[in-house]
C-alpha cells in the first residue's frame, strides 16, 4: 500500500489499437485514453492504490447500466442492471410493501453489481442474510462471449450452484449485466434498543446472551467509545458518550411481536450489565439511532484526513481479545482506531485514522492493518467479511489459505476465464507472490521492516 502501482509501461501502440477497436462499436467520446482523461479512473475510494488505466470505456449514459428492467410484486423479484443503487431498489419496491434486505452502510451510493461482486451484507444480515441469500439470478456473459445465466427465478437450478460461486467473486469469473433480486415484505413495525456498557467485553458478552436467549435480532451492532464520540459530533444521534461501548439491537415484525421481543432483549441486556437502556419511541427516533452507525465512516473523515477501514470477521466470543489487541496496536503504531462492529455476525470494521500525506503514517497504517488481519485469522476468522480482497488484502490471502487451496482457486478461475482477462492480479495471489511474501513476512508480531523509524 502507499505506492502507486506502476502506471508507466503503457504500450502506446497497444493503447491505440485497443482504443481503435473499442471505437468500432462505441461512440468516440465513450473511449478515453489520454492521460488527463484516464487519470480520474486510477483509483476507487481507497486512494492509496493507484494505477492509471490504459483505456477507459464508458457507457454512453449511466442509463445504460442503471435500468430497472422489471419489478414484479407478485413474484417478489426485481430485475435490475448492475449500476442500480442498492437503496434505489428498496425505494422502488416500497409502494408494494416490499424491500431488498441487504443494506450496507453505503447503500445510498453502492450498486447492486458491486454488492454481487463482494457479497455485501449490512446491519440486518444476521436475520435476513447477505447478497448470496437474496439474489436469485446473475445474467451476463461468460469469457467465451456466450450469454449465460447463473441461477434463475425458481429457488434452485439444475447442476452445480454456480450462482454461489459468482457472488463474492470480485468480478473474476464472468461479466454481469443483469441481476434478479428477491424482495421481502417490509416488517410492519421495528424498534431499536440502545444499550450502554462500561466495558467492551461486557458488551460482547451481552451479544452472546441475546443469541443464547433464542433471539435473532433484525440488527445487532456495536460501536466503541471513540466511534460514538466521532459520530456524535457529526450527526448527533443521541449516543451515550460515557459508555465504553454501545449496542444497537433491533426487533422487527408485527407490533405485538416487536413489543414482546423488545421486553425480552431489555431483560437480557440488563442482566448482562447494561448501564443505560433506551428504546426508540417512534420511527424518527429509530432512524436517528441508526443514523450514527450508518454515518460512522464519513464521520471519521471529519476527525482525520484519512481513514483505513478494515473488514475482518471473527467468532463473536473472541471479540474482547481482538479489541484489546487493536488497543495495543494503537499504542504500538501511534495511530487511533475507533471500532464499529456488526456484532451479530462477527464482522469487525476497525477504522485506522491517518494522514496519507505523511508517508510514515501510511506505512504504520499498513503494518497495523496487516497485524489486525493476521489476528483475525489466528482467532479462527477471516481477513474479509464483505469488502473483498482486491489488491489490498492479497498478501493476507497467503496466510489464510495454503498452497493447495490457492491452486484450486486458480483452477476455478481458469475454468471460467482461461486467459485470466477479468480483473487480473486481484483476489487470489499467485504462489510466487506468496513465496515472496513469506520471505518478507516475520511471524510473532514483529514488524515487516523492523529497521524503519516509526512515530
Partner 1 sequence: MLAAFQERIREAAARGAPLRLRGGGSKDFYGGALEGEVLDTRGHAGVVSYEPTELVITARCGTRLDELEATLAANGQMLAFEPPRFGADATLGGCVAAGLSGPRRAAAGAVRDFVLGARLLDGRARELSFGGQVMKNVAGYDVSRLLAGSLGTLGLILEVSLKVLPRPAAELTLQLELSEDKALEALSRWAGQPLPISASAWRGGLLGLRLSGAPSALQAAAKKIGGRPVDPAQTGRFWSGVREHADAFFAGDAPLWRLSLPSQVPALGLAGEQMIEWNGALRWLRTRADAAAVRAAAQRAGGHATLFRAADKAAGAFTPLSPVLLRLHRELKAAFDPAGIFNRGRLYPEF
**Which three cell numbers mark 11?**
504500450
Binding span for partner 1 by CB under 8 A among 8-16, 178-186, 225-233, 360-368: 178-186
Strand 347-354 versus strand 312-313 pairing type: antiparallel
Cβ–Cβ under 8 Å, residues 348 and 387: no
What region does 347 belong to: left with phi over 0, alpha with psi -120 to 50, or beta?
beta
Closest approach of partner 1 to the CB of residue 203, in Å? 14
Q: Does 104 bind partner 1 (CB under 8 A)?
A: no
**Cβ proximity to partner 1, 237 vs 265, nearer residue:** 265
- Residue 18 CB contacts under 8 Å (≥ 6 apart), including other chains: 33, 54, 55
Task: Pick one of 81, 86, 196, 400: the residue that binds partner 1 (CB under 8 A).
Answer: 400
Closest approach of partner 1 to the CB of residue 216, in Å? 6
The CB density around residue 256, as the number of other CB atoms within 10 Å, is 9
Cβ–Cβ under 8 Å, residues 283 and 255: no
**Cβ proximity to partner 1, 223 vs 362, nearer residue:** 223
Q: Does 247 bind partner 1 (CB under 8 A)?
A: no
Alpha helices in 246-350 (DSSP H): 255-271, 283-294, 296-303, 319-333
**Cβ proximity to partner 1, 50 vs 317, nearer residue:** 317
Q: Does 109 bind partner 1 (CB under 8 A)?
A: no
148 DSSP β-pair partners: 140
Q: Does 169 bind partner 1 (CB under 8 A)?
A: yes
- Residue 88 CB contacts under 8 Å (≥ 6 apart), including other chains: 68
- Residue 372 CB contacts under 8 Å (≥ 6 apart), including other chains: 310, 312, 322, 325, 326, 329, 350
Q: Does 142 bind partner 1 (CB under 8 A)?
A: yes
Locus of grid cell 456524535: 232
Task: Pick one of 130, 268, 272, 299: the residue that binds partner 1 (CB under 8 A).
Answer: 130
Q: Does 171 bind partner 1 (CB under 8 A)?
A: no
Site for partner 1 in 288-317 (CB under 8 A): 313-317
Binding span for partner 1 by CB under 8 A among 47-55, 129-137, 324-332, 445-453: 129-137
**Cβ proximity to partner 1, 153 vs 330, nearer residue:** 153
Q: Which of 106, 68, 112, 62 is nearest to 86 (CA)?
A: 112
The SS3 assignment for 403 reads helix
Closest approach of partner 1 to the CB of residue 345, in Å? 4
Q: Is the dihedral of CA 34, 37, 43, 44 positive or negative?
A: negative
**Cβ proximity to partner 1, 167 vs 248, nearer residue:** 167
Per-residue binder mask for partner 1 (CB under 8 A), 15-54, x = binder: ----------------------------------------
Task: Pick one of 167, 244, 245, 352: the residue that binds partner 1 (CB under 8 A).
Answer: 167
Query: How many helices, marked H, and strands, marked E, lie in the chain?
Result: 17, 17
Closest approach of partner 1 to the CB of residue 146, in Å? 4
Q: Does 94 bind partner 1 (CB under 8 A)?
A: no
Cβ–Cβ under 8 Å, residues 252 and 186: no
Task: Pick one of 8, 13, 284, 404: the residue that binds partner 1 (CB under 8 A).
Answer: 404
Task: Pick one of 212, 359, 435, 452: the residue that binds partner 1 (CB under 8 A).
Answer: 212
Binding span for partner 1 by CB under 8 A among 166-174, 232-240, 271-279, 281-289: 166-174
Amino acid at each position: 500500500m502507499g505506492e502507486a502501482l506502476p502506471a508507466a509501461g503503457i504500450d502506446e501502440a497497444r493503447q491505440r489499437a485497443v482504443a481503435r477497436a473499442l471505437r468500432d462499436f462505441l461512440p468516440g467520446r465513450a473511449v478515453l485514453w489520454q492521460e488527463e482523461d484516464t487519470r480520474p479512473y486510477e483509483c476507487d475510494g481507497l486512494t492509496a492504490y493507484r494505477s492509471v488505466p490504459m483505456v477507459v470505456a464508458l457507457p454512453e449514459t449511466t442509463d445504460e447500466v442503471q435500468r430497472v428492467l422489471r419489478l414484479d410484486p407478485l413474484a417478489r423479484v426485481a430485475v435490475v442492471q448492475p449500476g442500480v443503487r442498492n437503496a434505489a431498489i428498496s425505494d422502488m419496491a416500497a409502494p408494494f410493501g416490499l424491500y431488498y434486505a441487504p443494506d450496507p452502510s453505503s447503500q445510498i451510493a453502492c450498486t447492486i453489481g458491486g454488492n454481487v461482486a463482494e457479497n455485501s451484507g449490512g446491519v440486518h444480515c444476521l436475520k435476513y442474510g447477505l447478497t448470496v441469500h437474496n439474489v436469485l439470478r446473475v445474467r451476463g456473459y461468460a469469457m467465451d462471449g456466450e450469454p449465460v445465466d447463473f441461477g434463475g427465478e425458481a429457488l434452485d437450478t439444475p447442476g452445480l450452484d454456480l450462482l454461489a460461486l459468482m457472488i463474492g467473486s470480485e468480478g473474476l469469473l464472468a461479466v454481469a449485466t443483469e441481476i434478479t433480486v428477491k424482495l421481502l415484505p417490509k416488517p410492519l413495525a421495528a424498534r431499536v434498543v440502545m444499550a450502554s456498557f462500561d466495558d467492551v467485553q461486557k458488551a460482547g458478552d451481552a451479544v452472546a446472551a441475546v443469541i443464547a436467549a433464542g433471539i435473532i435480532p433484525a440488527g445487532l451492532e456495536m460501536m466503541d467509545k471513540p466511534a460514538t464520540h466521532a459520530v456524535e459530533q457529526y450527526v448527533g444521534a443521541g449516543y451515550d458518550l460515557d459508555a465504553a461501548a454501545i449496542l444497537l439491537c433491533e426487533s422487527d415484525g408485527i407490533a405485538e411481536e416487536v413489543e414482546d421481543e423488545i421486553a425480552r432483549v431489555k431483560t437480557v441486556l440488563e442482566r448482562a450489565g447494561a448501564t443505560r437502556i433506551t428504546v426508540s419511541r417512534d420511527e424518527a427516533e429509530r432512524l436517528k439511532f441508526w443514523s450514527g452507525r450508518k454515518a460512522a465512516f464519513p464521520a471519521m473523515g471529519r476527525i482525520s484526513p484519512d481513514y483505513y477501514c478494515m473488514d475482518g470477521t471473527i467468532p463473536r466470543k473472541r471479540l474482547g481479545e481482538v479489541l484489546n489487541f487493536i488497543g495495543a496496536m494503537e499504542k504500538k503504531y501511534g495511530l487511533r482506531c475507533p471500532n464499529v462492529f456488526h456484532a451479530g455476525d462477527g464482522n469487525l470494521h476497525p477504522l485506522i485514522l491517518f494522514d496519507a500525506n505523511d508517508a510514515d503514517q501510511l506505512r504504520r497504517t499498513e503494518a497495523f492493518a496487516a497485524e489486525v488481519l493476521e489476528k483475525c485469522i489466528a482467532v479462527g476468522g477471516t481477513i474479509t467479511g464483505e469488502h473483498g480482497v482486491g489488491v489490498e488484502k492479497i498478501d493476507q490471502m497467503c496466510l489464510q489459505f495454503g498452497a493447495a487451496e490457492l491452486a484450486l482457486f486458480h483452477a476455478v478461475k481458469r475454468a471460467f476465464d482461461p486467459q485470466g482477462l477479468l480483473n487480473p492480479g486481484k483476489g487470489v495471489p499467485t504462489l510466487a507472490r506468496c513465496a515472496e511474501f513469506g520471505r518478507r513476512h516475520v511471524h510473532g508480531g514483529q514488524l515487516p521492516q523492523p529497521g524503519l523509524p516509526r512515530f
